[in-house]
Amino acid sequence: MLSDLNVGFGITGSFCTFDRIKGHIKNLKNEGANITPVFSFNTQSMDTRFAKASDFIGEIEEITGNKGIYTIQQAETVGPGKLFDVMIIAPCTGNTLAKFTNGITDTPVLMAAKAHIRNERPLVIGISTNDGLGMNFQNLGRLMNVKNLYFVPFGQDDCIKKPNSLVAHFDKINDTLENAINNKQIQPVII
């Protein structure tokens, strides 16, 4: 079902999930999706214990076979150009979630998402935030009621050490995208 689908893949700075995301992007590519990565400024510039920014970006562009979107100006063309059939933000940090909920578009990922949804096409969110059951819970609740917005199923990743943390079950990305392009939210959402 994902064959020949134009997918925008927004990546924000939940660095600990980057290795998992690479595998899921490979899966999408193997199913025939045409993937354009969209990188947040933090993803582009921050070297962490999980990855060197330039190495990670190089790997993603190699996997997808497409150059990424790096600037707000480039991301703005997503809307008028109708570049994507579906867009996903994964990982979607709590920072990105909060800004998106409040209409802030100060990164390439947020601008691409805003430009994409103006075309009434599906936007999928794969959250990864340490405060999903804390301050960001209200943002999560507000977005659950937005038309054309869908969530990769999620749950607590460590309820003992990080009781407010929520992380998407990234292995459900393909199924979530297939449902989203048919205007359906995959169920259950909370696992």
User: What is the C-alpha separation between 36 and 52, in angstroms, rounded?
Assistant: 20
**188 confidence band (pLDDT: 50, 70, 90):** very high
**161 confidence band (pLDDT: 50, 70, 90):** very high
Residue 24 has pLDDT above 90, yes or no: yes
Is residue 164, in this structure, part of any structural domain at all?
yes
* 45 C-beta neighbours (distance < 10 Å), count: 11
Is residue 74, in this structure, part of any structural domain at all?
yes
Contact 35, 5 (CB under 8 A): no
Please give the pLDDT value at position 1: 76
Q: What percent of the chain has pLDDT over 70?
A: 100
Instruction: Reduce the DSSP state of residue 175 to 3 states and report it.
Output: helix
pLDDT digits (tens, 9 = 90+) for 77-125: 999 999 999 999 999 999 999 999 999 999 999 999 999 999 999 999 9
Residue 151 sits in a domain whose CATH number is 3.40.50.1950
Is residue 190, in this structure, part of any structural domain at all?
no
Contact 110, 96 (CB under 8 A): yes
Please give the pLDDT value at position 148: 97
Number of domains in the chain: 1
Is residue 24, in this structure, part of any structural domain at all?
yes
In the predicted model, what is the mean pLDDT of residues 161-189? 97
Is residue 122, in this structure, part of any structural domain at all?
yes
The per-residue b/e assignment along 76-90, b for 16 or more CB within 10 angstroms, e otherwise, is bebbeeebbbbbbbb
Please give the pLDDT value at position 146: 95
pLDDT digits (tens, 9 = 90+) for 124-150: 999 999 999 999 999 999 999 999 999
Is residue 48, in this structure, part of any structural domain at all?
yes
Range of the domain at 68: 6-180
Average model confidence (pLDDT) for the chain? 96
Please give the pLDDT value at position 87: 98
Contact 38, 6 (CB under 8 A): no
Is residue 160, in this structure, part of any structural domain at all?
yes
Q: Which two tokens stand for residue 191?
A: 């696992």
Q: What percent of the chain has pLDDT over 90?
A: 95
Residue 2 has pLDDT above 90, yes or no: no
